[in-house]
Chain A
Amino acid sequence: MTSSAAVELKSITKRYAGHTAVQDLTLTVPRGSIYGLLGPNGAGKTSTIRMILGIVRPDEGAISVLGDPGGGWAVNDRIGYLPEERGLYKKMKVLDHLLFLGQAKGMTRSAARVEALRWLDQVGLSQWSGRKIDELSKGMQQKVQFIAAVQHHPQLVVLDEPFAGLDPVNSQVLKDTVRDLSRGGTTILFSTHVMEQAERLCDSVCIIARGKKILDGAVADVKRGHGGRHVVLAVEHGNGDVERLLADRSLIARSDNYGNYAELELTSGTDPQSLLERIIAAGARVTRFEIAEPSLHKIFVDLVGAEAAVPVAIN
């Protein structure tokens, strides 16, 4: 296993009573990247994350995290984790709580104090440090939990559905913070079922559904691999010749035609360039001809079908 990977999973499988949560999953998270683990609810994202963190062990397969082949535990103090299910000790004071969680990650109490205060200041919670957790709003509690995931300078930060329940402003703050961490060399692995977020933030992604990998790789590669067949066309003075051309199933596999505007999916033998020539030759005035990249969401739906977006019932 190469040390350039922050996380490497090799054919891991995890079964629970009556169902398989993760099946034969292989993926590599490059060091320093922002990596998205994508899939609908119930796809096995949280199970995968728990195995990476060493909280549960896979039934089969090998896991290497930050160069440690024994699963995530030995390097535990160098990992930060924001669980999907957020929760803190309600009766503890904010600063005490952060000190406890910092120490639990191997920090000294004084170092934890410095970092916690710095982060509280950064997210605008300085004046709340002496309050009890249950006096804070949900959004503030999420911020405290985020601090707990990053205050010990982890080399790998794992965020499980970090955007769930955040308002647009705080979503933006989180995205900026994640980008800052990434620029500082931290590897970010996050899971989400909202493909649009991943598309904008991630360098690489892995899409899983029902415990199995659908595809993975750098976002640009993934799109290139599934792109080039989609064309957005807008014309003026459309005529019957153009209509006949667009209805030709030997050229165009699928079209979504609004008359003056159409989204086309070309058959594998069709060259977009020659299609453009024929449309012009047919007498239409082309105002837009774009070879579009498909969204991750479109790729996902194309690959696994819309029904895979529905989680499988256990048993």
Chain B
Amino acid sequence: MRKIWIVIRREFVERVRTKWFIISTIMGPLFMSGVLVAPIALATGGGRDRSIVVVDLTENGFGERLTADLNRSQSIKAERLPTSLTDLTSVTDSLSELVRRKMYDGLLVVTNQALEDGKTEYLGTNASSPRDMQILNRYVQETTLTERLTRAGVDPAAVRQARLDVQIQVTKITGVKGKKESGEGAFALAYAMWFVLYLSIIVYGVTVMGAVVEEKTSRVIEILASSVRPFQLLAGKIVGVGAVGLFQLLIWGICATFLLNHQKEVMHLLRLPMTSETPSFPHMSLVTAAVFLGYFILGYFLYAAMFAAVASTSSSEAEARQAQTPVVMLLVVPSVLMVGILNDPNGSLAHTLGLVPFFSPIAMPVRWAAAPVPPGELALSLGILAATLVAVTWLAARIYRTGILMYGKRPSLRELIRWVRAS
């Protein structure tokens, strides 16, 4: 036990000291603030209002009312330009030129017909921004609707009341009592969990693989093998690298919590407006954090053991990279199928992937974040994963024990089986 501790200590201290660790630890929160701020900055276009020209071909005041309505929105400044049908081409041409010169963002052409067939034309540089188009669409739609209703003889006061914003507040009901999250938040959380789990299991698994290969190629293993038992070395290495991973996740977690709690201050610092449309980030409950951590630890151990076994049978970095493919593929499967899990978190795909041991470390936390999971199923999934971990570690340790002292060509499957069966 003491020797495992010595191996863990070396692995942890030497890794935490490296430039790579320091840089990635600092880059993490920077990346996070980027994720936090970028969509807002993009969505608000740096806080600038869109200025558009309403090319008005109507004769019944619809154009005027539409311009007024658009100006009521927080992000559009509209100017009306009454035009006749004969001048339309020259007017749109000259306005398009102004848009190209960035004096306006776009032009909206409204005709009498708009009330009949609902067709309105918009030309602009921001035509591909979903958010801008959504706002524009909403105001044009509302004004058109009001206009039609008024014409049909409905009392304008009644129309005004009918126009009240309708907003559905989506809340996810979860298996855990008192746990409440918005639907959008749940999706973001599930996505974030997938991202962090997939990346950290791969990155730290490959780190373990590199460490094992390094000991073989540098022949340090010769002297280590005479002091420390192979299992102690393997366990110490995996736990040591894992501790580095947890340490980094902890630093990132603290930074993320801080950023989320001080979103206002951060936004203020970056001179970005804090509006109702600023995306709110999901709150991660303690139970969810525990589920995440549990699957991260078990999943990391499972994959690290496999990466270590693969590395022990390779004599060089290049060989190991080739041999790792099947292990990486196992991790890629649940990631590829993640969209399926998110679309139907209670479907049979999500159920199955949440139980299959090599997929569950990623599939289950994603499912947990997206939908209620019965505690019994969570326990079953964890149980299967833990049992697989024990079996895989046992196998990996036996391959590792022989592999670390073998050089030359990689063993065949038959040789591997003999290594495993040797006493």
Q: What is the CB-to-nearest-CB distance from B345 to chain A, in angstroms, rounded to a whole number?
A: 45
Chain A residues bordering chain B, tally (CB within 8 A): 31
CA distance A53 to B226 in the complex (A): 6
Q: Is the CB of A88 within 8 A of B227?
A: no
Q: How far is the CA of A57 from the CA of B225 in the complex (A)?
A: 13
Complex CA distance for A247 and B102, rounded to whole angstroms: 115
Q: Min CB distance, A124 to chain B, in Å? A: 22
Pairwise interchain contact A83-B222, C-beta atoms closer than 8 A: yes
Pick the contact of A87: B2, B14, B218, B405 (CB < 8 A).
B218
Known: A56-B405, A100-B10, A104-B6. A87 touches B225 (CB 8 A): no
Q: Chain B contacts of A145 at CB under 8 A?
A: 223
Q: 8 Å CB contacts to A: which residues of B242-280?
A: none
Q: A91-B14, A92-B14 are in contact. Are A79 and B226 (CB under 8 A)?
A: yes
Q: Is A277 part of the binding interface, using a Cβ–Cβ cutoff of 8 Å? A: no
Establish whether residues A87 and B226, one from each chain, have CB atoms under 8 Å apart when the complex forms: no
Q: Mark A146-160, 1 if CB is under 8 A from B, else 0.
A: 001100000000000
- CB closest chain-B residue, reference A134: B218
Is B16 close to A, CB under 8 A? no
**Residue of B221, B227, B415 with most chain A CB atoms under a 10 A cut-off:** B227
Q: Is the interface on chain B under 10, 10 to 19, 20 to 34, or 35 or more residues?
A: 20 to 34
Which residue on A lies nearest to B402, using beta carbons? Answer: A56
In this complex, what residue of A is CB-closest to B3?
A: A104
Judge whether B131 is part of the interface by a CB distance below 8 angstroms.
no
On chain A, the residues within 8 Å of B224 by CB distance are 104
Is A55 touching B227 in the complex (CB atoms < 8 A)?
Answer: no
Please, which residues of chain A bring their CB within 8 A of the CB of B220? Answer: 87-89
**B226 near A55: Cβ-Cβ < 8 Å:** yes
A81 and B10 in contact (CB under 8 A), knowing A87-B220, A88-B220, A89-B220? no
Is the Cβ of A87 less than 8 Å from the Cβ of B219? yes
In the complex, the answer to whether A83 meets B223 with C-beta atoms within 8 Å is: yes
Report B354 CB to chain A, min CB distance, Å. 40
A85 at the interface (CB under 8 A from B): yes
- Distance between Cα atoms of A73 and B230 in the complex (Å): 12
Q: Tell me whether B228 is interfacial, beta carbon within 8 Å.
A: yes
**Shortest Cβ distance from A6 into chain B, in angstroms?**
16
Partner of B223, one of A17, A81, A103: A81
Q: List 25 A-B contacts (CB under 8 A).
A: A57-B423, A76-B226, A81-B223, A81-B227, A83-B222, A85-B222, A86-B219, A87-B220, A87-B221, A87-B222, A87-B223, A88-B218, A88-B220, A88-B223, A89-B14, A89-B220, A91-B14, A91-B18, A92-B14, A100-B6, A100-B10, A104-B6, A104-B7, A104-B228, A106-B2
Q: Which 3 residue pairs across A and B have the least CB separation, nearest first? A: A87-B219, A83-B222, A104-B227
* New A-B pairs, 17, CB < 8 Å, besides A81-B226, A145-B223, A149-B223: A53-B226, A55-B405, A76-B226, A82-B223, A83-B226, A85-B222, A86-B219, A88-B223, A89-B14, A89-B218, A89-B220, A91-B14, A92-B14, A104-B6, A104-B7, A104-B224, A105-B227
